[in-house]
């Protein structure tokens, strides 16, 4: 099952491949679908990949492969509030295409700003190599402080975060503590409590009750500027 926008993107890529043999750029896809930013295109492509219509080719950051295409180019739409269309499995052979390897994700600010992630403005966008991100929705935060330096995360780095509300022990997460302070730490669960571990021997672990900590994302990558 695909949404209308996912269906439109798949059809647009298919038409361009049939016409020129070259995939449209992210900018062209954004304009064709009347989206506000390239991050919207990235989310659609990620959704198509998760549903088995597109596959990222291994060791080739710029290449994707179309695994399924609709038999009916015009598609059909079910009259429902969610605006869902169903695509039959394609009978054609998979065909690779090249996509822009730089995408834009929301840059929410500094991670020690003390503001819930959802409340931060998303007017700024950060260009990110697509190879650094996997599937799902992502955002970026500028790291403030040195509590994670032993994990290779330094003050001024940009943390690339996959948005999620779940995480496993040992993962580096964005944690919202008591609805007030966002922090980047290792997640540990211990005797019914949540322990947020720094990666710096100069800092002590922070221990909270489970209802005081909300997972707002998992670390997916880092960007660093060299001056």
The CATH number of the domain holding residue 58 is: 1.10.10.10
Q: Is the pTM of this model over 0.75?
A: no
What confidence score (pLDDT) does residue 122 get?
54
Give the DSSP H or E segment for 42: helix 38-50
Catalytic annotation present for 147? yes
Number of folded domains that form the chain: 2
Q: Over the chain, what is the mean pLDDT?
A: 75
C-alpha span between 155 and 226 (Å, rounded): 12
Residues 115 and 204 in one domain: yes
CATH number of the structural domain spanning residue 107: 2.10.109.10
The one catalytic residue in 30, 38, 163, 185 is 185
Q: With left for phi above 0 and alpha for psi between -120 and 50, is residue 217 left, alpha or beta?
A: left
The helix/strand/coil state of 47 is helix
The one catalytic residue in 39, 46, 147, 163 is 147
Residues 59 and 145 in one domain: no
Residues 96 and 129 in one domain: no
What confidence score (pLDDT) does residue 36 get?
82
Nearest to 110 by CA among 156, 148, 170: 156
Domain end position, chosen among 38, 72, 100:
100
- Long-range contacts of residues 192-199, Cβ cutoff 8 Å, at least 24 apart: 198/147, 198/148, 199/147, 199/148, 199/149, 199/150, 199/151, 199/153
- 54 compared with 171, residue with greater pLDDT: 171
Residues 159 and 54 in one domain: no
Residues 107 and 199 in one domain: yes
pLDDT of 160 above 70 = yes
Residues 109 and 172 in one domain: yes
Helices 38-50 and 4-20: crossing angle in degrees, nearest 10, is: 90
Residues 72 and 128 in one domain: no
Question: Which structural domain range is residue 87 located in?
Answer: 2-100
């Amino acid at each position: 099952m695909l949404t209308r926008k996912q269906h439109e993107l798949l059809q647009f890529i298919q038409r361009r491949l049939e016409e020129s043999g070259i995939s449209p750029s992210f900018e062209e896809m954004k304009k064709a679908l009347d989206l506000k930013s390239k991050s919207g295109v990235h989310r659609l492509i990620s959704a198509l990949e998760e549903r088995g219509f597109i596959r990222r080719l291994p060791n080739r950051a710029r290449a994707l492969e179309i695994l399924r295409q609709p038999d009916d180019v015009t598609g059909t739409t079910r009259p429902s509030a969610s605006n869902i269309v169903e695509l039959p499995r394609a009978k054609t052979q998979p065909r690779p295409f090249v996509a822009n390897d730089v995408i834009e994700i929301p840059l929410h600010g500094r991670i020690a700003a003390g503001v819930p992630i959802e409340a931060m403005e998303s007017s700024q966008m950060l260009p990110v190599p697509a190879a650094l991100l996997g599937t799902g929705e992502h955002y970026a935060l500028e790291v403030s402080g040195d509590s994670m330096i032993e994990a290779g995360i330094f003050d001024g780095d940009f943390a690339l975060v996959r948005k999620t509300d779940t995480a496993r022990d040992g993962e580096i997460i964005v944690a919202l503590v008591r609805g007030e302070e966002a922090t980047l730490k290792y997640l540990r669960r211990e005797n019914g409590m949540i322990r947020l571990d720094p990666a710096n021997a100069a800092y002590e672990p922070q221990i909270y009750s489970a209802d005081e900590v909300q997972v707002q994302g998992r670390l997916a990558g880092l960007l660093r500027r060299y001056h």
